[in-house]
A and B are shown apart, each in its own frame.
Chain A
Amino acid sequence: MTASEFDDVWVVVPVFNEAPVLEAVLDGLTAVFPWVCVVDDASDDGSGGIARCFADRGVRLLTHPVNLGQGAALQTGFEYVLGDPSMARVVTFDADGQHVVDDAVRLARRLTAGFDVVLGSRFVARKASPMGWPKRSLLRLAVAYTRVSTRLKVSDTHNGLRALNRQAVGLMNLTQSGMAHATEILERIKQRGLRYTEEPVEIHYSAYSRAKGQPLLNAVNILVDLLVK
């Protein structure tokens, strides 16, 4: 049933040292999505081996020989799935277990209502998620900056859960290797006039993802990456 509904969907999962949670994440994804592309960004904790164990459940593993950053991993995944002629939709999904598979399902379905890109958002009213005020205000600041620079009306610019149709994937061509790719995706949407919408998603801030997540100071790096090209 679901296998046929999502047979045209590829889930792209950029992975860098996520061994403790990767198995659970892939378990959840492969239960719903027949095709998952894991891009291992040169992990040294055995994440690649875990992904390889899922080969018979539709998980394809790509391995960067050196660590390049999440943006580069996403772009590698995009180029790979574009090689599948029957791919029509792509869902990007973080490997640290902060996303919910049901949300990915909803985003993928929402695409078929005539959107090129569906962006997951933590700030669309429906689902609030607990996060500290420094992180919240920093993300708000990023949103404000993006709204000014791209003039897109988005409420969450740095959410790893997104759905794109084939056309949008082909147009992405991400060059920002690090975390600035989140803004770059939005710039592409603007440049190419892609039809986009937001969809509320839940984020699980586990102790793991908190420890693993973006340190606040990294925002400085992202800003410089965007300003100095």
Chain B
Amino acid sequence: MLIKIILIAAVLLLGAGMLRGQGKRRQALRRIGLVVFAVVAVTSILQPDYLTWVAQRINVGRGADLLLYALIVVFFSYIATRYRRDTRTQEMITAISRRVALNQAPPPRPPDTPGQATPDRPDTAGQATPARPDTAGQATPRQPNR
């Protein structure tokens, strides 16, 4: 059936288009699609029989059926686009919220806590294991002192 091939091709193409292609190129394609849609819409309003004629060319009974199929394809592509955009928006919200949380937080270790933090410790930044004498035997899971 011709319509099955066309529909599957359309779905695959749209799917591929969702995954690849960025920015300007996709925007241009979307605009071309919009123009094509407008032309087809106006034509089918002026000349309703023409849709049926096209439908019959590709082994679909009526023009209304063809319209339905096209609508389904467009709807799913819309969902896919929406999903991607939502994901991007979510990432932005996360970044902003994290920045707000970090900006409002007190400094991790204020310098005026001599009781707890030893201010001048050897720099342990980026070091895998801080040098300490008590590492012997830690590999075995035993119950440590409380």
Q: How many residues of B contact A (CB 8 A)?
A: 37
A167 in contact with B126 (CB, 8 Å): yes
Binds A, one of B34-42, B66-74, B90-98: B90-98
Please name all residues of chain A whose beta carbon is closer than 8 Å to the beta carbon of B106 when the two chains form the complex: 55, 60
A39 in contact with B144 (CB, 8 Å): no
Binds B, one of A2-10, A152-160, A203-211, A214-222: A2-10
Chain B: CB-nearest residue to A170:
B126
B129 in contact with A64 (CB, 8 Å): no
B128 in contact with A165 (CB, 8 Å): yes
Please name all residues of chain A whose beta carbon is closer than 8 Å to the beta carbon of B132 when the two chains form the complex: 5, 112
A76 in contact with B116 (CB, 8 Å): no
Please name all residues of chain B whose beta carbon is closer than 8 Å to the beta carbon of A61 when the two chains form the complex: 105
Please name all residues of chain B whose beta carbon is closer than 8 Å to the beta carbon of A200 when the two chains form the complex: 141
Interface hits, A104-120 → B, CB 8 Å? 105-106, 109-114, 116
Would you give the shortest CB distance from B141 to chain A, in whole angstroms?
Answer: 6
Interface hits, B62-96 → A, CB 8 Å? 83, 90-91, 93-94
Contacting A80 at CB < 8 Å: which of B108, B117, B146? Answer: B108
Q: How far is the CA of A48 from the CA of B54 in the complex (A)?
A: 64
B124 in contact with A166 (CB, 8 Å): yes
Chain A: CB-nearest residue to B93:
A66
B101 in contact with A177 (CB, 8 Å): no
Contact mask for chain A residues 22-44; partner B; CB cutoff 8 A; 1 contact, 0 none: 00000000000011010100000
Q: How far is the CA of A87 from the CA of B109 in the complex (A)?
A: 10
A166 in contact with B127 (CB, 8 Å): yes
Interface hits, B111-128 → A, CB 8 Å? 116-118, 121, 123-128
Contacting B130 at CB < 8 Å: which of A66, A68, A84, A88? Answer: A88
Report B's interface with A, CB cutoff 8 A.
83, 90-91, 93-94, 97-98, 100-102, 104-109, 116-118, 121, 123-130, 132, 134-135, 138-139, 141, 143-144, 146
A-B contact pairs, 27 of them (CB 8 A): A5-B132, A7-B117, A7-B118, A8-B130, A39-B101, A60-B108, A62-B104, A64-B97, A75-B98, A76-B102, A83-B107, A83-B108, A86-B123, A86-B125, A87-B108, A88-B125, A88-B130, A106-B144, A109-B134, A110-B138, A110-B141, A112-B132, A112-B135, A114-B129, A166-B124, A166-B126, A167-B128
In the complex, besides A65-B101, A68-B93, A79-B102, 18 extra interface pairs with C-beta distance below 8 angstroms are A3-B116, A7-B121, A60-B106, A62-B105, A68-B94, A68-B98, A72-B94, A72-B98, A83-B108, A85-B125, A88-B130, A102-B144, A110-B139, A112-B130, A112-B134, A113-B135, A114-B128, A175-B91
Report A's interface with B, CB cutoff 8 A.
3-5, 7-8, 10, 34-35, 37, 39, 55, 58, 60-66, 68, 72, 75-76, 79-81, 83-89, 102, 105-106, 109-114, 116, 126, 165-167, 170, 175, 177, 199-200, 228
